[in-house]
Amino acid sequence: MARALPPDCTSQDWGITYAELERQFDRFEQVYGIGGAAGNLNGQILAGGNPFEGPRSRDYPNPPMKESHAGALFSHAARSLGFRPFPMPSATMTRAYTNSYGLTMGPCVYCGYCAPFGCEMGAKASPQTAVLPALLASPNYELRTLANVVRVNLDSDRRRAVSVTYVDSRGREVEQPAELVLLTSFTFNNVRQMLLSGIGTPYDPVTNRGVVGRNYAYQCSSGVTAFFEDKVFNSFMGSGGLGRVIDDYNGDNFDHAGLGFIGGGFISAASLGSRPIVSHPVPAGTPTWGSAWKRAVAHYSDRSMSIGVGGAVQSYRTNYLDLDPTYRDAFGLPLVRMTFDFHENERRMSDFLTGRCEEIAKALGPSKIDANRHRGRYSIVPYQSTHNTGGAVMGADPATSAVNKYLQSWDVPNVFVIGASAFPQNAGYNPTGTVGALTYWAADAIKNHYLNSPGPLVT
Ligand SMILES: Cc1cc2nc3c(=O)[nH]c(=O)nc-3n(C[C@H](O)[C@H](O)[C@H](O)COP(=O)(O)OP(=O)(O)OC[C@H]3O[C@@H](n4cnc5c(N)ncnc54)[C@H](O)[C@@H]3O)c2cc1C
Ligand code: SF4
C-alpha cells in the first residue's frame, strides 16, 4: 500500500472508525429528514440502495426522491453495464416531515430553483429549519446575529481559551468570556481563527512540521454532457439532491491494479433544474455567439443531460492553508491563503472516472458527447464544488493532526474545531453527512465526558 501512495501524499487515518460514527450518522439523518434507500441494513444488502455503504442500523427516515427522466435513463444504462445504481440521498424533504424536535419541513415540489436559493416550501433541511427554531425556544439559548468573531483569546500560558472577541453590526468590539469555545465557521474560517488566535502550531510545508493549515484538500469534479436529437428532459424541473448514482468506482470498491492511482468517486446523473440564462449546454464546436449558437441553445438546452463525477482528492505536502502575507480584511487581519493544485494521482483518477461516464453515456445512444476532463492546473475561476476539507484535521497523533478524535484541539483543550476542516483528506463523497455525524460525535463527547471533567479527552 505504501508504494501506491503518490509522492508527497500526506493522506492519513481519521483516528476514528465508521462503526463508532454510525449512530451519529443515523441521528443526523433523523433530525435532517434525509430521504434515501438503505443498501446495507445491519449487514444485509438490500436491492435498490447502495450495496457498498457501511452497515446502517436503520433505514433513512424518508423515502428517496422521485426519479427524473435523466435519472431513469442513467439507471437503465448503468444496470446494463453491470453497475448498481441507487437514488442519491437528499436533504430536501420527499414528504412533509416532523423531526424529533417537533419541527416540520414541507415536501419538495421539484421547482428547479434550488441550489442557490431559499426554498418556498421550507423543504430544505438546514440548521435554520431543523434545529434553530427549537433552540430559540430554549430559555438558556441566545443567538447573537451579525457577530463577526475575530479572535479566540487565550490565557498567558496559551493552554486555555478565556474569551472570544467579536465585532457586532455597529462595529463595536465585544469580548465574550467563555469556558468552552466551539469553532464552527466552515473549513477556511476555522483554520483562520486558529492561526489568528495562536491555537496549535502553524503548518510549515518546507519542514513538513506543524499542523494548523495542513492537509487542505478539495473535490475533483469532471463529467460528460450527452446531447440527443430524440429525447426531451423537461429539465426546468428538478431539485438540489435529485439524482441517481453509482458507487462502483468509489474508494476501494473496485480493483485499482494497474490503474496508477488511488481513490475514486461517485458517478451520478443529477437533475438539479436547468435555470434560464445560466444553463445553455451546446455541443463542442458550436459557435460561441450569433444565430448558429442561438439555434443550438434552442435545440439542445432541453435535449441534453450530464453525468458527473464527485471525485476524491488526496492530501499533499504542497497543499495547505496559511495566513496571507499581503491581503487583509476590513479589520486589518490577514485573510486565509489557499495553496492548492491537483496532482498526477487526481488527473489519472479523473481521466479514468470520466471514461466510465462516457461509457454510460454511450449506452444511451446520444448524437454527441462532450467530456470535461481535468487537464492542466487548478483554476479557482469556474465553479466546481464547495466541498473544501482539511486544515485542522483529526487524528490520533498530535504531530500530524490539529484536533483529536473528538475534534478537541490538542493544544487548547477547551476549544473544539467542528466541520470538514477535520477531514484528513477529501473522500469521494459530499461532505455534509460526515460533518453532521462528527458534530453529534463531538457534542456527545463534550456533554458526556468533557463537562464532567474538563481537560484533554485523549492523552
Ligand atoms: C451551493 C452549495 C451547494 C452545496 N451542496 C452540497 C451537497 O450537495 N452536498 C453536501 O454534502 N454539501 C454541499 N454543500 C456544502 C455544505 O453546505 C457544507 O458542507 C456545510 O454547510 C458545512 O457546514 P458547516 O457548519 O461546517 O459550515 P457552514 O454551513 O458554512 O456554517 C458556518 C457558519 O459560521 C458562520 N461564520 C463564519 N465565520 C464567522 C465568524 N468569523 N464569526 C461568526 N460566525 C462566522 C457563517 O456565517 C455560517 O453561519 C454545498 C454548499 C453550497 C454553498
Ligand atoms: S426544488 Fe429545492 S427549492 Fe424547490 S421545492 Fe424542492 S427543495 Fe424547495
pLDDT tens track for 68-123: 999 999 999 999 999 999 999 999 999 999 999 999 999 999 999 998 899 999 99
Q: Are residues 149 and 276 in the same domain?
A: no
The candidate with the shortest Cα–Cα distance to 161, out of 457, 454, 459, is: 454
Give the pLDDT confidence of 123-172 residue by residue, as tens digits.
Answer: 999 999 999 999 999 999 999 999 999 999 999 999 999 999 999 999 99
Q: Which domain holds residue 374?
A: 2-32+40-84+181-450
Q: Is residue 363 part of a domain?
A: yes
Which range has the worst mean pLDDT, 104-108, 221-225, 382-386?
382-386
pLDDT at res. 298: 95
Give the pLDDT confidence of 391-424 residue by residue, as tens digits.
Answer: 999 999 999 999 999 999 999 999 999 999 999 9
Q: Are residues 297 and 205 in the same domain?
A: yes
Q: Is residue 21 part of a domain?
A: yes
> Of 155, 178, 201, which one is at a domain's C-terminal end?
178
Q: Atom 30 in ligand 1: which residue has the minimum CA distance?
A: 186
Cα(92) to centroid of ligand 1, in Å? 16
Tell me if 131 CB under 6 Å of ligand 1.
no
> Of 123, 157, 178, which one is at a domain's C-terminal end?
178
Query: How large is the average pLDDT for residues 293-309?
Result: 96
256: annotated active-site residue: no
Cα(385) to centroid of ligand 1, in Å? 12
The candidate with the shortest Cα–Cα distance to 378, out of 262, 251, 219, is: 219
Q: Is residue 193 part of a domain?
A: yes
Using DSSP, state whether 18 is helix, strand or coil: helix
Measure the CA–CA gap between 358 and 247, rounded to whole angstroms.
16
Give me the catalytic one of 299, 343, 387, 449.
387
Q: Quick check: 375 pLDDT over 70?
A: yes
Q: Atom 17 in ligand 1: which residue has the minimum CA distance?
A: 432
Q: Is residue 209 part of a domain?
A: yes
Q: Are residues 158 and 222 in the same domain?
A: no
Cα(186) to centroid of ligand 1, in Å? 6
For residue 375, count other CB atoms closer than 10 A to its CB.
10
The candidate with the shortest Cα–Cα distance to 302, out of 235, 365, 240, is: 235
**Ligand number nearest to the C-alpha of 389:** 1
* Structural domains counted in the chain: 2
Q: Are residues 322 and 445 in the same domain?
A: yes
Atom of ligand 2 nearest to the CA of 118: 3
pLDDT at res. 2: 61
Q: Are residues 417 and 342 in the same domain?
A: yes
Cα(370) to centroid of ligand 1, in Å? 32
Measure the CA–CA gap between 1 and 440, rounded to whole angstroms.
32
Q: Is residue 148 part of a domain?
A: yes
Q: Is the pTM here over 0.95, yes or no?
A: yes
Measure the CA–CA gap between 239 and 330, rounded to whole angstroms.
37
**Ligand number nearest to the C-alpha of 183:** 1
Q: Is residue 129 part of a domain?
A: no
